[in-house]
Each structure stands twice: as structure tokens, then as C-alpha cells.
Amino acid sequence: MFWTKRVVIGDGERGLVYRNRQFQRVLMPGVYRYFDPMGRMSVTCHDIASPECRGNDKDVLIRVLGEALDRYFVLADIGSEEVGLVSRNGRLNDVLPPGSRVLFWRGLVDIEVEKVSLHDGLAVSRVVATRLRQIGLLDRVSVAVTVPVESTGLVFVDGELAETLAPGSYAFWNFRKNVSAEVIDQRLLSLEVSGQELLTRDRVSLRVNLAASLRVADPVVARTRVAKHSDFIYRELQYGLRRAVAAKTLDELLGDKASLDADIFAYVRGRVTEYGIEVLGVGVKDVILPGEMKEILNSVVQAEKLAQANVIRRREESNATRSLLNTAKLIEDNPTLMRLKELEALEKVTEKIDKLTVFGGLDGVMKELVKLR
């Protein structure tokens, strides 16, 4: 018939009937006929395999259906201080932000909506966070942070420190408030201050390289009282190095490097401890002199070593002369020792003679060949 409208709703569908563009009823699966000679009725079909009811008239559906709404829909009415966890067939599938109002079709997909109050805290439970990470929603709805070993996590809510975190994985709902998280590394840190051009007390220009070992002892103080603690420590090391070098002459610097290290360490530790930084050690690595000053210093060192060598040489010569004098006195007082020395001299002379002819026998050798007296 020309004035009759036939509507077929499949098993996986639902229909919404409108008359003069005003909602009338919901159609379940089946075949329907409507007498509509004026063409005032329309039916929209919805595939409930995608359970969310999309459209701009959800408030109309809620008002018109009233108590019958629960027969066709699951209403997720999320408060301003709540988060909605939407599960499909028992598995978490989506997150609804505060203030959401969503209708889900009943039927093919079992929909459950769990409300989580933000008044109880912003932390996301470990099970929920794991599931949201699996479906790729965690970073969209929360602030996730992993705190390594030897580190501390700091959570800020609307710019104020709200919580400190031990090593582990965490997530916090990022709704209604500005949530951020930072990780403060508390491991041993090595910091170098290189190429510092400095003047000693006696106006000698030199270049110094400094190394320091430190760690963050109080992460809350280090983060809240200093904008960037690494830059702050670097500057204090520079100041400490300049003060210590300017207070000493070049000879004092080169002669007692440990004293220089101790002066820098005492200054830096006194400056940074109140800001949550622990200084474990400070040491000067290199003291580099300009070319001309290096040549002068080498000349001085060479002269000092030469003078020391001369002193040692003269001392040895004096010892040798004294030994010869003592030997001469012994020989003078002992004829037998004198004769023994004569024979030693004879032996040394004859070692270099190829052929030796002796007249007068052994007596001639002993008496005539060597005569020292």
C-alpha cells in the first residue's frame, strides 16, 4: 500500500521512531508497518555491535523513555568529580572523563560502567593502569611515570607538590587538575668544570680543570628550592675554585694541591648542603700554565735539580778524598800493607804488557821491578 511504511529491524539492530522529528519509541528486532499517508514518520536504524548510542538526542531519549530507559540502554552518567571505566564483556575498554553522559545499547555487548571518585585520590590502580596501557589509552587519560632504582618521583597537582614516589610504576588521572610528575636521579653524579682561566695571588695566569662527585640527598628540597640543581652546583664549583686559587700563590698551589682541594670542598659543601645536595668529593684534575710561564718554571726546576746534583757530587768527592787520606795513613804506618799495594800496582801494570822479561829471578821481580820508595 502506498500509505503504509514497512520497517525491518535486524537481530543486531535497534530502531528509533520519530514522528514530525520528535522521538516516539524504540524498535526491537522484527518487521513493522506504519500507516503514514503524510510522510511524517521516520525510523533510524542503529548497529548495536558498536554499543555507544551516537547522536545529539540522548537527553531526549533519557527524558522520554523515563523508567523504560534501562530496558534498552545502559546510562553512564559521570559526575564532575568522577571517572567512568567502561567494560565490554568483562574487559575494560574505555574511560569516560568527568561530566560525561553516554548511552550504550543493551543487547549484543555486555556493558558495565564503574565510577571512580577523584575525591579518593588521583592514583590509578595498577590493574587498571596495566589494562589501559594495553589498549593504548593510558597516556591519553593519565600521567604515567616510572621511577627507577636510586631515584625518587615527585607528583605535582596544580603546581603544588602532592606526593613523593618510591621506585616503581605509577599513573595518575589527568582530569580536572593539572597533574605532572618528575623523576629525581639520586645516583652518584660526576661533574667537571673545565678550562677555567684564573689568576693566583701573585698574579700568575693559569687554566684549571676541576672534578666533583655529588648526589641529591633530599629530592624535595633540591627540586622545590632550586630551579635546576645541576646548573646551581656548577656555578658554586666555579666560585669555590676561583676563591681558592685567588687566595694562593703559584708555589703554594703546586706544592700543596690537597690544601686547594680541601678549601674548594669546604666552600661548596657549605653552599649546597641546605639545598638538598651532598658533596662527596672535589679535586683539581689539571693545572695548566701558559707557554712562557711553563718555560720559566721548567728552567727553575732544572736549576734546582742541577744545584742538588752539584751538592751530591761535592759530597761524594769529599767522601772519596777522605777515604784516600785514611788509606794513605794506614799504608804509611804498615810496611806490609805498603808492599801489598805495590804488588797490586804491579799486577795492574803487567795486565797491559804483552811480553815481560825479568832478570834476577823472583828477587828481582820483588825488589827491582817496582820501587815506590
Spatial distance between the Cα atoms of 45 and 38, rounded to a whole number of angstroms: 21
Residue 50 CA: distances (Å) to CA of 70, 94, 105, 253: 18, 13, 8, 79
Mean pLDDT, the chain, rounded, equals: 84
Least confident of 37-46, 159-168, 239-248, 296-305: 296-305
pLDDT of residue 180: 92
Percent of the chain with pLDDT over 90: 39
Query: In degrees rounded to 5, what are phi and psi of residue 121?
Result: 125, 160
Q: Would the CA dihedral through 49, 50, 56, 58 be positive or negative?
A: positive
Supply the Cα-derived Rg of the chain in whole angstroms: 50
**Which residues does 61 contact at the CB level (< 8 Å), separation at least 6?**
16, 23, 53, 69, 73, 103
Strand, helix or coil for residue 76: strand
Least confident of 39-48, 222-231, 275-284, 327-336: 327-336
pLDDT for 94 beyond 90: yes
Q: Would the CA dihedral through 242, 246, 248, 250 be positive or negative?
A: positive
Query: What mean pLDDT do residues 203-226 have?
Result: 89
**Which residues does 324 contact at the CB level (< 8 Å), separation at least 6?**
none
pLDDT of residue 113: 93
**Per-residue pLDDT tens over the stretch 325-350:** 777 777 777 777 666 776 676 667 66
pLDDT for 109 beyond 60: yes
**Per-residue pLDDT tens over the stretch 294-305:** 566 666 666 777
**Residue entry with cell 690544601:** 259
Give the H/E segment covering residue 311.
helix 291-333
Query: In degrees rounded to 5, what are phi and psi of residue 188?
Result: -60, 130
Checking 173-176 for CB contacts under 8 A at 24+ apart, the result is 173/83, 173/116, 173/118, 173/122, 173/123, 173/124, 173/141, 173/142, 174/141, 174/142, 174/143, 175/83, 175/97, 175/98, 175/118, 175/141, 176/80, 176/81, 176/98, 176/118
**Per-residue pLDDT tens over the stretch 21-73:** 888 889 999 998 888 777 788 888 988 888 888 878 888 998 988 889 999 99
Contact 208, 153 (CB under 8 A): no
More confident residue, 253 or 282: 282
Name the band, by pLDDT with cuts 50, 70 and 90, for residue 291: low
pLDDT of residue 355: 66
Contact 103, 52 (CB under 8 A): yes
Query: What mean pLDDT do residues 77-105 have?
Result: 92
pLDDT of residue 84: 94
pLDDT of residue 219: 93
pLDDT for 169 beyond 80: yes
Residue 196 CA: distances (Å) to CA of 191, 283, 308, 373: 14, 14, 35, 76
Answer left, alpha or beta for residue 338, where phi above 0 means left and psi between -120 and 50 means alpha: alpha
Query: What mean pLDDT do residues 275-294 have?
Result: 81
pLDDT of residue 298: 61
